[in-house]
Amino acid sequence: MLFSEQLRKAVDPIWEASFHHPFVKELGEGTLDLRCFRYYVLQDSYYLTHFAKVQALGGAMADDLQTTASMAHHAQNTYEAELRLHETFMKELGITEEEKASFVPAPTAYAYTSHMYRAAFAGHFGDVLAAILPCYWLYYEIGERLKHCKPNHPIYAKWIEAYGSDWFKQLVEQQIARLNDIAETVSAKDLERMKQHFWISSQYEYLFWDMAYKLEHWPIEEEDVYAKERA
């Protein structure tokens, strides 16, 4: 069994929970509250900004220039395809520049990106791939599951179209193959650490849907702290 197959089998219960999360199901049905999707777009834009940086870090850690160039291409795709799609969503949802400027990442978004940085700075290129791959792979599988859905809201249809596309499938398959190649060259201890990164990221993917669906916020808001200081 390939290393990627071992990972996918280990996280199947977590991914099944993502497939059946009300955020994902209602997005496919077109019944998701736009407030949740609006919140998701802001948080995911923050996440993707850091995801692209971690992709670039992975490229810098690669052993050969071809892989470095490929990871740079992946980071560029995150910006040109996914982040630009989110910019389109922001315009359609009426998200203002003031809202962007005052944005604060939610606890889950902050923790997930911190996890990816930790994997990168405490490990090697294989750790980076293991930490970022669930985002690629899970979104592709969700896109495949939803691609025949016909939500009555154009924003949801665009989201499904992006992640159910052939270009995204190619990106996912490249990273899976790359992870399997690395798995053949590292130690058993490295593999266990990479498995843990993959498992944790899969958990965070589920938590990200939950965060958006529940409009997660910090338990003590910034304005509450300032109010206490003024008092």
Q: Does 97 qualify as catalytic in the annotation?
A: no
Active-site position among 205, 222, 223, 229: 205
Active-site position among 16, 135, 149, 192: 135
Separation in Å, CA 60 to CA 53, 63, 146, 170: 11, 8, 35, 22
Q: Does 135 qualify as catalytic in the annotation?
A: yes
Residues carrying an active site annotation: 135, 205
